[in-house]
A and B are shown apart, each in its own frame.
Chain A
Amino acid sequence: MKRAAWLGAALLLLAVAWHIDADPARLVRGLPWMWDFVRRMVPPDFRVLPAALRGAVGTIEIAFLGTALAAALAVPLGFLSARNVAPPAVYYAVRTALNFFRSIDTLVYALLFVAAVGLGPFPGMLAVVAYTTTSLAKLYSETIEGIEPGPVDAIRATGATRLQVLRFGILPQVLPLFLSYVLYRFESNVRAATVLGFVGAGGIGLYLQTYLRMIDYPAASTVLLVTVVMVMLVDFASARIRARLV
């Protein structure tokens, strides 16, 4: 039984590899070209550093504003899709809607918003809001479902209203975790926002794509370096804050 499963898995991998034309020989033949690519990228052209930094700031702005708006929008959705808080009909409706919209990636949202509101960081920010709201709402609702029921009972027993029970029985239990998820999403969104420029939705990706199109590899490598440093700094800072929260 176990051997059959392993054999089946191996056959599946081979079949898929064949289907997508996976060919190690092609990779080997391409190595010199990749080497050439890398060689042309050094030394980086630091004259474009100011432009790259502007792009980096734009990317962080998109991620920051988008994550912040989504963090707030996801709070009501999180409560409405938590089994232990929402009435069953609401729970199923909201959860189904969230699952539907969460299956669309940030980059796809960016294409839609660029078509709707035109080029620039604004559609990028909207794309971050759209995806992050659904993903945070899911994390929020799972956190709410995992709370201790005891303090909630105690608050209900005092004669508190529904909203007071949410505020005093549930929110103190979930808020630190919510903040930690928001920071984590911010890190991911900085990374996601680096490619939003490829579809015209602002940020550092726009510069990378432009220099690659102009075949200006030294400039593109400066942009890449700035991207790497930016992502590492954001990850580092965010991880430090998160460690303090939980």
Chain B
Amino acid sequence: MIEVQGLRVVLPLETVALYGVDLVVAPGEFVVIIGRSGAGKTTFLRAINRLVEPTSGTVRVAGQLVTGTDPGALRLVRRQIGMIFQQFNLVRRASVLDNVLAGRLGYVPEWPSLVGRFPPRDRALARDCLAQVGLADFAARRADTLSGGEQQRVAIARALAQEPQVILGDEPTASLDPTLAGSIMGILGRINRERRLTLVVSQHQLETALEHGTRIVGFRAGHVVFDGPPAAVSPDVVQLVYGEEAA
């Protein structure tokens, strides 16, 4: 479902964020990425849909090339990739439903959408996605009147509205308290099982990662240093990923 080969990202000011990462994610996997802050987790996720431009290497999602494509082809493949963020990244002043409708932007006719006109089918789909995260009654509320956990659920609904094959999550629970974090990971797990959606989510909480992931990938200083099932995460692996001394 996701094929990453030799992905190298050099950020401005010559900082190497990723040194040639290879990773293949099969359909239906729930990959949780662990690692210390600055290990390259965020850069890796953002390079998959080219919010960050890779320096070299290739990324394919659902068989379509992401890297090196023209803007039109990039938009088509981005529709297949939902994304949720640590800060939820909703448009605060817009209504909850409008935020979810944004997930349809890659599908609807461009000019009508600019004046806020969406086909009825897309509106119905957006409402349906909102219902799936349990927020059907919140459609008309302004996004910034919702609590953090509710906002992240709206962001999940926005990602689902893309009818994607893959959802990427960049520390989606890091700004939430532990109970809410668990419930958000639970919603993602349910989506993974019921819809057979492929998930790649970074997570700074090790226990949460092990509880929800079907596969754990450990990043350290721009390299993948561990890749295996949650059961294989031994104290040695923890030391390898998080340990103080050089790996």
Contact = CB atoms under 8 A, between A and B. Distances in A.
A153 B84 CA distance: 10
Given A172-B91, A172-B93, A159 B85 contact: no
B174 interface: no
Interface stretch (A40-48, A162-170, A225-233): A162-170
Contact of B102 (A158, A163, A173, A176): A158
Nearest to B108: A164
A95 B117 CA distance: 34
A150 B105 contact: no
B41 to A, nearest CB: 16
Interface of A: 150-151, 153-161, 163-164, 167-169, 172-173, 176
Chain A to chain B: the 3 pairs with minimum beta-carbon distance, closest first: A159-B106, A159-B78, A150-B89
Contacts of A158: 78-79, 82, 102-106, 158, 162
**Among A155, A160, A173: residue with most chain B CB under 10 A:** A160
A173 B98 CA distance: 14
Contacts of A176: 93
Contacts of A169: 91
A6 B152 CA distance: 56
B49 A157 contact: yes
Interface of B: 49, 51, 75-79, 81-83, 85, 87-94, 98, 102-107, 110, 113-114, 155, 158, 162
A153 B78 CA distance: 12
26 contacts: A150-B87, A150-B88, A151-B92, A153-B51, A153-B89, A154-B85, A154-B89, A155-B102, A155-B105, A156-B51, A156-B78, A157-B51, A157-B82, A158-B79, A158-B104, A159-B77, A159-B105, A159-B106, A159-B162, A160-B102, A161-B75, A163-B110, A164-B114, A172-B94, A173-B92, A176-B93
Nearest to A149: B89
Contacts of A163: 110, 114
B34 to A, nearest CB: 23
Contacts of B114: 163-164, 167
Contacts of B162: 158-159
Nearest to B162: A158
Given A151-B89, A154-B102, A158-B106, A164 B51 contact: no
A160 B162 CA distance: 11
A156 B106 CA distance: 9
A159 B75 contact: yes
Contact of B105 (A151, A160, A172): A160
Contacts of B90: 151, 154
**Among B81, B102, B110: residue with most chain A CB under 10 A:** B102
A154 B83 contact: yes
B77 to A, nearest CB: 8
Contact of B106 (A150, A151, A160, A172): A160
**Among B78, B91, B113: residue with most chain A CB under 10 A:** B91
B139 to A, nearest CB: 17
Given A156-B78, A164-B114, A168-B102, 5 more contacts: A154-B155, A157-B78, A167-B113, A168-B91, A176-B93
B105 A157 contact: no
Given A164-B110, A167-B114, A159 B79 contact: yes
Contacts of A168: 91, 94, 98, 102, 105
A145 B89 CA distance: 17
A84 to B, nearest CB: 14
Nearest to A166: B114
Contacts of B94: 168, 172
Nearest to B116: A167
A95 B93 CA distance: 29
A151 B219 CA distance: 26
Contacts of B49: 157
Contact of A154 (B106, B107, B110, B158): B158
A145 to B, nearest CB: 18
A226 B175 CA distance: 57
B30 to A, nearest CB: 20
**Among A158, A159, A164, A173: residue with most chain B CB under 10 A:** A158
A176 B93 CA distance: 9
A157 B167 CA distance: 11
Contacts of B105: 155, 158-161, 164, 168
Given A154-B102, A157-B51, A157-B78, A173 B89 contact: no
